[in-house]
Amino acid sequence: MNLRIAMDSRANGFSLTFNPSQPPPANRPRKTIMTRMLKAQYTQRGLVPQDVISAVPFDRPVLAEGQALVAVLAAPINPSDVLTLTGQYGMLPPLPAVGGSEGVGRVVELAPGTQGPAVGQTVLLPAGSGTWSTHVVAPAARLIPLPNEADAKQLAMLTVNPPTASLLLSDFVTLQAGDWVIQNSANSGVGSYVVQLAKLRGLKTVSIVRRDSAVVGVQAQGGDVVLVDGDDLAERVKAATGGATIKLGIDAVGCKATMRLAACLGESGTVVNYGALSGEPCTVSPRELVFRDVSLKGFWLAKWFRTTPPAKAYALLTELAGLIATGKLSTPIQATYDVAQIKEAVAAAAAGERQGKILVVPAQG
């Protein structure tokens, strides 16, 4: 197969392209779609994300050569999606736009003469393709086949959070089985994948959450030590780990939470920031940076995809898809919403106190 990564004008900024090595059977039948089509569209951005987006109907599209019509099976609402609606994300698509940066669907039609995954095949949708919709028109060559029998809701979250977690664990510090890793926002989507992947790799985790009610959920995912954040975090981490040297801290919060993670690390440890849930800049004291040689680095998945050889990116997604398909990797789902309920779905995703991901799951039929 041939695979390439290309820039995409939408929020995630990258795309994966799959070209099958064999052409499809000739004269594939066209399939008439007799169902209501809705998309979650926004024409402006605002501080209350659910207020700027709404479900609007659209007509069944006529496909051009090279295109496929895909019925969306599931698409998550990620923090980056919410920030895109509020205008606070690092890359913003031109308006009007359809929400949703990742998801999976089932091919329902291929344009005449088009090569691509067969009708009926479950596929990974191109990143940033407006997945909060009942149907998506996409270049057939950019659709990556996935196991039809796997849980579509779990596969829908393949593109963003699992590779982020995997790369945070592998690309900044050399870790050996038995080493400890500490992270905050451990009850988030990325956090749950960090816990599970660390366990699969023989690593031990200290998982930090911001409320007592989140502790049990992270423990159920396999967290070795789960603590609520606070000013005395370093002392409690030292006691819980028996004074183990921790080389890697993973930060999604920013502000003083970054400094608390840094204080938990051993000398010359590394904190990697990939988010700012606090809305504030990362803070690290001179004591950590100067006297203990702790470093602070950043990670953005979209940049990684843009600068990584295609074969390496495809191998990572293939590995993670296999773990998801076999049930070895999953994340809690709190609720699912139809496209028609997009305002409620976005409000739920933007709210605190959640115990899992919010997914858009279009009603079938």
Judge if 137 and 181 occupy the same domain: no
| Residue 310 confidence (pLDDT) | 86
Q: CA separation (Å) from 203 to 99, 312, 318?
A: 36, 23, 22
Smallest CA-to-CA distance from 84 within 362, 346, 358, 266 is with: 346
Same domain, 55 and 92: yes
| Residue stretches of the chain with pLDDT short of 70 | 1-35, 365
- 320 assigned to some structural domain: no
What is the tally of structural domains in the chain? Answer: 2
Is 42 one of the catalytic residues? no
Q: pLDDT per residue over 327-343, tens digit each?
A: 999 999 999 999 999 99
Which domain, by its residues, includes 10? Answer: 2-158+332-360
167-182 per-position pLDDT tens digit: 999 999 999 999 999 9
Q: What is the pLDDT of residue 365?
A: 58
pLDDT at res. 118 = 97
Please tell me the predicted confidence (pLDDT) of residue 90: 83
Residue 196 Cα distances to 166, 253, 314, 353, angstroms: 10, 20, 21, 22
164 lies in some domain: no
Looking at the structure, tell me whether residues 154 and 192 fall in a common domain. no
Coil, helix or strand for 213?
helix
- 246 and 142 in a single domain? The answer is no
In a domain, residue 307? The reply is: no
Q: What is the pLDDT of residues 180-214, one digit of tens each?
A: 999 999 999 999 999 999 999 999 999 999 999 99
Q: Which residue has the tokens 């099976």?
A: 73
Catalytic-role residue among 89, 193, 274, 314: 89
pLDDT at 354: 80
For residue 152, CA distances in Å to 68, 183, 255, 298, 325 come to 19, 28, 36, 31, 9
